[in-house]
C-alpha cells in the first residue's frame, strides 16, 4: 500500500472511531448521576480512549499524506478542512482532560465528523503546489490558524450546550428561534454532503467556456446543474443545463451553484427531519444537556477563547502577513480571505472586551461564542466557495 492509500485508510479509521466515540459519550452522559458513578467513569474512559485512538489515526493520515505529497497537506480545501476537523478533535481531547465533561464530547465530536465528511466531498487528489504556496511560512500560517479556529470552535460547543440547557424551548421566543436556526445551518452542511454524493452517483458533468477577469477564455466543468453561469459562459457539453443567471467575474458561479444546491438539499432534509421527529431538532437534543454544569460550560467557553484567540491571531494575521509578503511582496491586500480573517479577529477581540470589562457571561457569552463559530464557518464555506480572490486556489 502506498502512502496516499494509507493516508486515506487512516482518515476513514479516524472517522469511524469518532463516530463510535460519540455514542460512547452519549452513554456516559446518560449515566452521569450520583447513583451510577462507576458506569459513568467506565463509559467516559472508553469514549475518550476511542477518541484518542481515532485522533492518532487522524494524525497518521496527516503525516502519511505529507510524506506522499512532499509538502504539508493544507494546500487545498480537502486538506485544510480535514486538518481543521482533526484539530477540533485534538482541542476537545486537551480540554476534556482538564474538565472531564462527557457532554462536551457528545457535541464536539459530531462537529469534527461533519467537518471531515464535508472535506471528503472535495477533490482528494494530491496536486503540485503553485509557486505562491511553495513556502514554509504557508505551512506555519495555515496550521496555526486552523489550530486557533479549532480551539475557538470548542468555545462555541460549550456555549451551545449552555444555551440548550438554559433556554426554555417550550415557549416561543427569539432565543428558541435562533438556537433552531443554528441547527438548520448544521443540517445545511449535511445537505452539501448529500447533494455532492447524489450528483456524483448520477455522474453529472457539464463543461462550459467563459471569459475571466483578465479577458482570456477558459473552460470549466460543473458537477452539479449550473444554476449560475461564469462570465459570458457558453455550454460545450451537448444538452447541458443552461445557467439561469450569469455572474460577474468577481463571483465564482460554479461554487455559488454548489452553495444554492446545498441550501435546497439541506432545507429538504431539515423539513423531513422535522416531520419525522415532530418537534424542533434543538428540542430533541436538549435532554442530553440537562446534566451538564452551566457554570463549567461558561468557564470552558471563556477559557477556550482566551487560548484560541492569540493562536488564531498569530496564524491568521501575523504569520499570514509574513507569507503574503513572501508570496506577493505585500503584507496586506484586502483579499476576501484576509478581510474575513480581520473580521474574525475583531469579533473575538470585542468578545473578550465585553467579557472582561462589561461582565458579559452566561447566555450573552454563549451566544457570542456561537456567533463567532458561525463567522469561522462562513469563512471556510461561503468565502471559499463563492468569492473569487487570491485564495481561490483553495
Instruction: Reduce the secondary structure of the chain to three states and give it as a string.
Output: CCHHHHHHHHHHHHHHHHHHHHHHHHHHHHCCCHHHHHHHHHHHHHHHHHHHHHHHHHHHHHHHHHHHHCCCCCCCHHHHHHHHHHHHHHHHHHHHHHHCCHHHHHHHHHHHHHHHHHHCCCCCCCCCCCHHHCCHHHHHHHHHHHHHHHHHHHHHHHHHHHHHHHCCCCCCCHHHHHHHHHHHHHHHHHHHHHHHHHHHHCCCCEEEEEECCCCCEEEEEECCCCCEECCCCEECCCCCCCCCEECCCCECHHHHHHHHHHHHHHHHHHHHHHHHHCCCHHHHHHHHHCCCCHHHHHHHHHHHHHHHHHHHHHHHHHHHHHHHHHHHCCCCCCCHHHHHHHHHHHHHHHHHHHHHHCCCCHHHHHHHHHHHHHHHHHHHHHHHHCECCCCCCC
Residues 105-148: pLDDT tens digits?
999 999 999 899 888 888 888 877 776 667 788 888 889 999 99
pLDDT (average), residues 146-159 = 94
Q: What is the pLDDT of residue 36?
A: 52
pLDDT band at 156 (very low <50, low <70, confident <90, very high): very high
Q: What is the pLDDT of residue 337?
A: 78
Q: What is the pLDDT of residue 384?
A: 66
Which has more confidence, 47 or 33?
Answer: 47
Residues 224-283: pLDDT tens digits?
998 888 888 888 888 888 888 888 877 778 888 888 999 999 999 999 999 999 999 999
Q: What is the pLDDT of residue 212?
A: 77
Cα radius of gyration (the chain): 22
Q: What is the pLDDT of residue 40?
A: 60
Q: Around Cβ 295, how many Cβ atoms within 10 Å?
A: 10
Q: Is the pLDDT at 388 greater than 70, yes or no?
A: no
pLDDT (average), residues 52-62 = 95
Q: What is the pLDDT of residue 70?
A: 84
Q: What is the pLDDT of residue 292?
A: 86
Per the listing, cell 476537523 goes with 85
Q: What is the pLDDT of residue 238?
A: 84
Q: What is the pLDDT of residue 144?
A: 94
Lowest mean pLDDT among 44-48, 96-100, 125-129, 328-332: 328-332
Q: Around Cβ 314, how many Cβ atoms within 10 Å?
A: 17
Q: What is the pLDDT of residue 332?
A: 73
pTM: predicted TM-score of the whole model, two decimal places: 0.85
Q: Is the pLDDT at 54 greater than 70, yes or no?
A: yes
Query: Which residues on neighbouring strands pair with residue 251, listed in sequence order?
Result: 387
Are 253 and 246 a contacting pair, CB within 8 Å?
Answer: yes
Q: What is the pLDDT of residue 251?
A: 73
Residues 285-338: pLDDT tens digits?
998 888 888 999 999 999 999 999 999 999 988 988 888 787 667 777 777 778
Q: Is the pLDDT at 394 greater than 50, yes or no?
A: no
Q: What is the pLDDT of residue 249?
A: 72
Domain ranges of the chain: 3-169+280-385, 186-279
Q: Is the pLDDT at 19 greater than 90, yes or no?
A: yes
Lowest mean pLDDT among 51-65, 82-96, 105-119, 205-219: 205-219
Write out the three cell numbers for 102.
462527557
Q: How far apart are the first and last CA of the chain?
A: 28
Q: What is the pLDDT of residue 393?
A: 44
pLDDT band at 53 (very low <50, low <70, confident <90, very high): very high
Residues 167-199: pLDDT tens digits?
988 888 899 999 999 899 889 888 988 998 899
Amino acid at each position: 500500500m502506498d502512502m496516499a492509500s494509507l493516508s486515506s485508510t487512516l482518515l476513514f479509521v479516524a472517522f469511524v472511531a469518532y463516530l463510535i466515540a460519540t455514542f460512547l459519550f452519549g452513554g456516559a452522559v446518560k449515566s452521569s448521576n450520583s447513583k451510577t458513578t462507576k458506569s459513568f467513569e467506565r463509559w467516559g474512559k472508553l469514549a475518550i480512549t476511542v477518541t484518542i485512538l481515532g485522533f492518532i489515526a487522524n494524525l497518521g493520515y496527516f503525516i502519511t499524506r505529507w510524506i506522499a505529497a512532499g509538502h504539508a497537506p493544507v494546500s487545498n480545501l480537502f486538506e485544510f478542512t480535514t486538518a481543521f476537523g482533526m484539530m477540533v478533535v485534538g482541542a476537545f481531547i486537551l480540554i476534556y482532560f482538564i474538565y472531564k465533561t462527557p457532554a462536551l464530547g457528545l457535541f464536539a465530536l459530531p462537529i469534527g465528523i461533519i467537518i471531515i465528511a464535508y472535506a471528503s466531498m472535495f477533490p482528494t487528489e494530491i496536486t503540485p503546489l503553485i509557486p505562491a504556496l511553495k513556502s514554509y511560512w504557508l505551512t506555519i500560517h495555515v496550521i496555526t490558524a486552523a489550530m486557533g479556529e479549532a480551539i475557538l470552535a470548542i468555545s462555541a460547543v460549550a456555549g451551545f450546550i449552555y444555551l440548550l440547557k438554559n433556554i426554555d424551548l417550550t415557549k416561543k421566543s427569539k432565543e428558541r428561534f435562533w438556537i433552531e436556526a443554528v441547527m438548520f445551518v448544521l443540517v445545511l452542511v449535511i445537505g452539501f454532503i448529500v447533494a455532492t454524493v447524489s450528483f456524483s452517483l448520477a455522474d453529472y458533468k457539464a463543461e462550459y467556456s467563459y471569459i475571466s477577469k483578465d479577458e482570456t477564455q477558459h473552460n470549466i466543468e460543473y458537477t452539479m446543474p449550473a444554476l449560475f453561469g461564469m462570465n459570458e459562459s457558453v455550454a460545450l457539453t451537448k444538452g447541458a443545463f443552461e445557467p439561469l443567471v450569469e455572474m460577474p467575474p468577481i463571483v465564482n458561479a460554479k461554487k455559488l451553484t454548489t452553495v444554492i444546491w446545498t441550501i435546497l438539499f439541506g432545507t429538504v432534509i431539515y423539513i423531513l427531519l422535522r416531520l419525522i421527529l415532530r418537534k424542533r431538532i434543538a428540542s430533541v437534543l436538549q435532554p442530553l444537556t440537562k446534566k451538564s454544569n452551566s457554570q463549567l460550560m461558561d468557564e470552558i467557553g471563556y477559557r477556550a477563547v482566551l487560548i484560541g484567540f492569540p493562536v488564531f491571531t498569530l496564524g491568521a494575521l501575523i504569520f499570514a502577513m509574513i507569507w503574503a509578503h513572501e508570496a506577493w511582496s505585500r503584507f496586506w491586500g484586502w483579499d476576501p480571505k484576509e478581510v474575513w480573517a480581520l473580521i474574525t479577529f475583531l469579533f473575538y477581540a470585542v468578545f473578550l472586551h465585553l467579557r472582561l470589562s462589561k461582565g458579559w457571561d452566561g447566555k450573552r457569552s454563549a451566544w457570542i461564542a456561537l456567533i463567532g463559530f458561525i463567522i469561522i464557518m462562513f469563512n471556510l464555506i461561503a468565502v471559499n466557495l463563492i468569492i473569487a480572490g487570491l485564495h481561490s486556489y483553495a
